[in-house]
Amino acid sequence: MSADARSVLVTGATGNQGGAVVEHLLASDAEFDVRGLTRDASGDRARELADRGVTMVEGDLNDKESLRPHVADADAVFAVTNFWTQGYDAQVQQGKNVAEVAADEGVDQFVFSGVGSHERDTGIPHFDSAWDIEQHAQDLDLPMTVLQPVFFFQNFEAFAEDVVDDGQIALPLAEGVSLQMVDVDDVGRAAAVALADPDEFVGERFELAGDELTLEETADVLSEVTGVDVDAYHVPIEDAYESFGEEFTVMCEWFNEVGYDADVDALEERFGFEFRTLEGYLRESGWEDKDGMAAVPGWVKAMQ
- The pLDDT-based confidence of 84 (bands split at 50, 70, 90) is confident
**Statement: residue 240 has pLDDT above 90:** yes
pLDDT of residue 302: 42
The CA-based dihedral angle spanning residues 113, 117, 118, 122, taken in that order and rounded to the nearest 10 degrees = -160
Domain CATH code at residue 102: 3.40.50.720
**Can you say whether the dihedral through the CA atoms of 123, 175, 156, 24 is positive or negative?**
negative
User: What pTM was estimated for this model as a whole?
Assistant: 0.93
Three-state SS for 301?
Answer: helix
Domain CATH code at residue 216: 3.90.25.10
Q: Do 12 and 142 share a domain, yes or no?
A: yes
Q: Do 41 and 138 share a domain, yes or no?
A: yes
pLDDT of residue 297: 42
From the list 274, 150, 279, the residue with the least C-alpha distance to 209 is: 150
Q: Do 91 and 62 share a domain, yes or no?
A: yes
For 52-66, the pLDDT digits (tens) are 999 999 999 999 999
pLDDT of residue 300: 37
User: Looking at residues 232-260, what average pLDDT do you find?
Assistant: 96
pLDDT of residue 291: 63
Q: Which residues pair with 175 in a beta bridge?
A: none
Q: Do 134 and 28 share a domain, yes or no?
A: yes
For 124-149, the pLDDT digits (tens) are 999 999 999 999 999 999 999 999 99
**Statement: residue 293 has pLDDT above 90:** no
Three-state SS for 128?
Answer: helix
- The pLDDT-based confidence of 2 (bands split at 50, 70, 90) is low
Whether 28 is covered by a domain: the verdict is: yes
Q: How far is CA 114 from CA 83, 110, 150, 295, in A?
A: 10, 12, 9, 24
Q: What is the mean pLDDT of the chain?
A: 93
Q: In terms of residue numbers, what domain contains 168?
A: 156-178+211-260+276-298
From the list 194, 227, 166, the residue with the least C-alpha distance to 76 is: 194
Q: Do 25 and 137 share a domain, yes or no?
A: yes
pLDDT of residue 298: 41
DSSP state of 241: H
Cα–Cα dist 88/84, whole Å: 8
Cα–Cα dist 150/148, whole Å: 6
For 108-121, the pLDDT digits (tens) are 999 999 999 899 88
DSSP state of 29: S
Q: Do 92 and 131 share a domain, yes or no?
A: yes
Whether 267 is covered by a domain: the verdict is: no
- The pLDDT-based confidence of 228 (bands split at 50, 70, 90) is very high
Backbone angles phi, psi at 67, to 5 degrees: -85, -30
**Statement: residue 299 has pLDDT above 80:** no
User: Looking at residues 194-198, what average pLDDT do you find?
Assistant: 98
| β-strand pairing of 231-234 with 151-152 | unpaired
From the list 270, 285, 84, 255, the residue with the least C-alpha distance to 184 is: 285
DSSP state of 80: E
Q: Do 12 and 61 share a domain, yes or no?
A: yes
3-state secondary structure 163-209: HHHHCEEEECCCCCCCEEEECHHHHHHHHHHHHHCHHHHCCEEEEEC
Q: How many domains does the chain have?
A: 2
Cα–Cα dist 87/35, whole Å: 26
Cα–Cα dist 80/111, whole Å: 9
Q: How far is CA 146 from CA 13, 134, 204, in A?
A: 18, 8, 6
Q: Do 126 and 222 share a domain, yes or no?
A: no
Q: Do 126 and 238 share a domain, yes or no?
A: no
Backbone angles phi, psi at 17, to 5 degrees: -70, -50
From the list 179, 152, 148, 154, the residue with the least C-alpha distance to 296 is: 154
Q: Do 63 and 194 share a domain, yes or no?
A: yes
Three-state SS for 212?
Answer: strand
